[in-house]
Amino acid sequence: MPVPADAPAKVPAVRSRPQRGAAVAFDPLRAYLEDIKRYPLLTREEEVQLSIRYREKGDLDAAYKLITSNLRLVVKIAMDFQRHWMQNLMDLIQEGNIGLMQAAKKFDPYRGYKFSYYASFWIKAYIIKFIMDNWKLVKIGTTQAQRKLFFNLRKERERLEAQGIEVSPKMLSQRLDVKESEVVEMDQRLSSWEISLDAPLDDNSEDTHKAFLPADVQPVDEQLADHEAKEILHDKLKRFRKTLKGKEAVIFDQRLLAEDPLTLQEIGDKFGISRERVRQIESRIKKNLKAYLEEQIEDLESFQESLLDVK
């Protein structure tokens, strides 16, 4: 992936070769980890000030400080993903660093969340795309079901086998909530022969396999927006819940928020009231909730999908 055009040039490089004349074996990972220790962590106030300087004035020194203070975050996230990429961890760190730089470029300090929280989405997006682009000849994660299989198929199989269970594609498809045919296909892909995506299509072609792979990973801005909307909605629901007592609180918890809601009759029996009375209370709660959210959230329409889950 290309480095953002206006990224600070001073961000420490990820080196993979020993320097000339080295007397002992060079460990690039250890050297890199030692190198990034010299960059201090930022306070929340410093983070906001630097972000504003970069956003409003294009201050590259501010961007440099913002990025280098989060290099250890990239390493942590890359290590979390290493089980999906059994080759050089430095590859994942390099991609994560590019995502970190992109995050600095896109970050809006006025939206209220921490830079590290925002950056983690970009870091993960770049690392995941790198893994999926380079794992096999055929791009593995092209649908939601395939992405689920990519990260969970082997783990689920090993878990079941450890319990002495004879694993079949049908069982795995039920466990992972995907089609049986998708389990078989992904299993074949994961077991297939690996070749570089940069290899030519044939001996007479200059085109590579990578050139024909679509870039269909959900944009990180969309991922962040979806996640942020759900977090905000969850917080507002918790605050609204504190305004309820007695029957209203029970109906809100066990009718509107429960994955397996009680029936009107079951609620009525619990309080010795009719089904119709429960329905009336529930209707009033919904009306009050809608008014509360409209007051608390400027653009309520952007949360429509999440609100449907509540109702």
Residue 140 has pLDDT above 70, yes or no: no
pLDDT value of position 174: 84
Angle of the 89-106 helix axis to the 28-36 helix axis, nearest 10: 30
Q: Contact, 152 vs 186, CB < 8 A?
A: no
Query: Tokens 């570089």 identify what position?
Result: 196
pLDDT value of position 47: 92
Tokens at residue 221, please? 């801005």
pLDDT tens digits for 219-243? 555 555 566 667 777 888 899 999 9
Q: What does DSSP assign to residue 208?
A: B
Q: Residue 163: count other Cβ atoms within 10 Å of its Cβ.
A: 8
pLDDT value of position 61: 95
Instruction: Give the residue extent of every domain in the chain.
Output: 28-134, 144-212, 220-310
The separation between CA 55 and the C-alpha centre of its own chain, rounded to angstroms, equals 24
Query: Tokens 């990025």 identify what position?
Result: 67
Residue 252 has pLDDT above 80, yes or no: yes
Coil vs helix vs strand at 28: helix
CATH topology for 28-134 is Four Helix Bundle (Hemerythrin (Met), subunit A) (1.20.120)
Cα 140 from Cα 284, distance rounded (Å):
48
Q: Which residue has the higher pLDDT, 109 or 137?
A: 109
pLDDT value of position 28: 84
Q: What are the backbone angles phi and psi of residue 208, rounded to the nearest 5°?
A: -105, 165
Judge if 28-134 and 220-310 fold alike in CATH terms: no
pLDDT value of position 157: 79
0.75 exceeded by pTM? no
Enumerate the β-bridge partners of residue 205: none
Residue 107 has pLDDT above 50, yes or no: yes
Considering the segment(s) 220-310 as one domain, its CATH architecture is Orthogonal Bundle (1.10)
CA-atom Rg of the chain in angstroms: 25
pLDDT tens digits for 17-47? 555 555 556 788 889 999 999 999 999 899 9
